[in-house]
Amino acid sequence: MKYYSTNHNAPEVSLAEAVVQGLAPDRGLYMPEKIKKLPQSFFDTIADKNFHEIATTVAEAFFGEDIPKADLDKIVCDTLSFDTPVVKVEDNIYSLELFHGPTLAFKDVGGRFMARMLSYFISKENDKRHVTVLVATSGDTGSAVANGFLGVEGIDVVVLYPKGLVSEIQEKQFTTLGQNITALEIEGTFDDCQRLVKSAFMDADLNAAMKLTSANSINVARFLPQAFYYFNGYAQLRRKGVKGDIVVCVPSGNFGNITAGLFAKRMGLPIKRFIAANNSNDIFLEYLNTGEYKPRASVATLANAMDVGDPSNFARILDLYDNSHKAITAEISGYRYSDDQIRNTVADTFKRTGYLLDPHGACGFQALKDGLKEEETGLFLETAHPAKFLETVESITHEKVAIPARLANFMKGKKLSIELSADFNDFKNFLFEKNKRQ
Ligand SMILES: *Cc1c(COP(=O)(O)O)cnc(C)c1O
């Protein structure tokens, strides 16, 4: 299958090229040239299928032309070493829990898949130089990608994160690993980190010297596999007796997760409509309301993985709907929540139902409550485990949160990050020096 750039000013490429390059040379994001519909028979029997069966079918529709089935199935099943259970929170509202992976956030799915697909492709290349994966993180991407790639032969990972703007638990998950993982603590915001990464890809000197790729949700190998769990969530709702089309609500920052859901819908998954939940960084909501997209600097919130002022995947949404604001608003609505509202939702939901939300899931849950009609059934994506935001959550509920063992283990490690300014020349020099040492 060919992949084109959302800017339509770069040549079409193969899957392998799209995965290795990350971003297209015209700074656009790669899109598959077609989205295959799955047959009705697949949906008729989906309630009888397990996650691996569902995900291998979805993966084949995306990648089946480019990777032999046995290799692809192995990548999919190695990636999905954990489940994504659906839990009923209250009448008509269900949580799709995406935090059962190694770093307790949904990004484990994309991170693990991309690591496996990238190493599959580079093992087939003649150019045996190391690949350097650059990843900017607002908190959870760094850990999912770093842990996905840890110890993978031939690949180095450089994680850039904003100093002081990620929680200690998040930071420990990617700064303590060592081996082929380097963490850079940037004096700036997430948007600065993202700008540094994008600039590195555009820099001729760097690209002549090194093989760079990206593991942000701009990479198709991270972005597309996120569709898997939408199908798995739907299958579970069917098993629970839910009928008809569902409403799906996604707490959104860079909009990769929700865009994967839009792809699932195009493939035939019975989703009636989507709700995008924002924190105070409500650039997308403003677009829905006004038709104008006005990126701006992000502000720090309790749901920090959604603190994005210029969501990369907005370009993919526009492309998917042929730039039609009317078509987009027909399928996606939006809500925004302040930190106070997030706190209220976590406290109130815990008190009423016993279900503990993390600050991101709280936006998703509340948007579903605010947007769902009486006859509808809604599924929100619980994108991280509440223990990842321990201090915040405990200060709201005044109860101790049990810390899962895999999280406690990270906390024992020693932070190994390197501090750097947000100036591109400093970053460039760092990469050159690092490359020389190899
Ligand atoms: C990354 C992240 C989000 C936002 O996902 P996008 O794909 O960037 O929209 C939401 N919640 C959590 C916990 C995250 O880590």
pLDDT on residue 360: 98
Q: What is the average pLDDT score of the chain?
A: 95
pLDDT at residue 248 tops 90: yes
pLDDT at residue 225 tops 70: yes
**Ligand 1: centre distance to CA 319 (Å):** 21
Among 136-140, 390-394, 431-435, where is mean pLDDT lowest? 136-140
Per-residue pLDDT reduced to its tens digit, 352-392:
999 999 999 999 999 999 999 999 999 999 999 999 899 99
Among 9-13, 23-27, 121-125, 299-303, where is mean pLDDT lowest? 121-125
- Give the strands of the sheet with 211-214, arranged side by side: 211-214, 131-136, 155-162, 181-187, 418-421
Is 170 close to ligand 1, i.e. is its CB under 6 Å away?
no
**Ligand 1: centre distance to CA 40 (Å):** 31
SS3 assignment, position 319: helix
pLDDT on residue 376: 97
Per-residue pLDDT reduced to its tens digit, 330-357:
999 999 999 999 999 999 999 999 999 9
pLDDT at residue 296 tops 80: yes
**Ligand 1: centre distance to CA 158 (Å):** 20
Averaged pLDDT for residues 280-296: 98
pLDDT on residue 217: 67
Question: What is d(CA 341, CA 302) in angstroms, rounded to the nearest whole number?
Answer: 10
Is 257 close to ligand 1, i.e. is its CB under 6 Å away?
yes
pLDDT on residue 273: 98
Per-residue pLDDT reduced to its tens digit, 47-64:
999 999 999 999 999 999
As a three-state string, the secondary structure of 22-35 is CECCCCCEEEECCC
**Ligand 1: centre distance to CA 436 (Å):** 35
Map tokens 């949580």 to a residue: 95
**Ligand 1: centre distance to CA 221 (Å):** 16
SS3 assignment, position 184: strand
pLDDT on residue 288: 98
Averaged pLDDT for residues 30-57: 98
SS3 assignment, position 423: coil
**Ligand 1: centre distance to CA 235 (Å):** 23
If you compute the radius of gyration of the chain from its CA atoms, what whole number of angstroms results?
Answer: 20
Q: How crowded is the C-beta side of 163, counted as CA atoms within 13 Å?
A: 11
Averaged pLDDT for residues 286-313: 95
Distance of CA 434 to CAs 85, 205, 438, Å?
A: 41, 14, 7
Is 256 close to ligand 1, i.e. is its CB under 6 Å away?
yes
Is 105 close to ligand 1, i.e. is its CB under 6 Å away?
yes
Averaged pLDDT for residues 232-245: 97
Return the best residue to mutate from 84, 137, 140 for the ligand 1 pocket (most ligand atoms within 8 A of CB): 140
pLDDT at residue 124 tops 80: yes
Is 185 close to ligand 1, i.e. is its CB under 6 Å away?
no
Averaged pLDDT for residues 233-259: 97
Angle at 113 between CA 110 and CA 117, to 5 degrees: 135
**Contact in structure between 363 and 279 (CB atoms under 8 Å):** yes
DSSP string covering 249-292, please?
EEE-SSSHHHHHHHHHHHTT--EEEEEEEE-S--HHHHHHHHS-
For 110-134, letters b (16+ CB in 10 Å) and e give: bbbbbbbbbbbbbeeeeeeeebbbb
Question: What is d(CA 109, CA 131) in angstroms, rounded to the nearest whole number?
Answer: 21
Is 218 close to ligand 1, i.e. is its CB under 6 Å away?
no
Is 252 close to ligand 1, i.e. is its CB under 6 Å away?
yes
Averaged pLDDT for residues 273-283: 98
Give the DSSP H or E segment for 248. Answer: strand 246-251
Is 211 close to ligand 1, i.e. is its CB under 6 Å away?
no
Minimum-distance ligand 1 atom for the alpha carbon of 226: 7
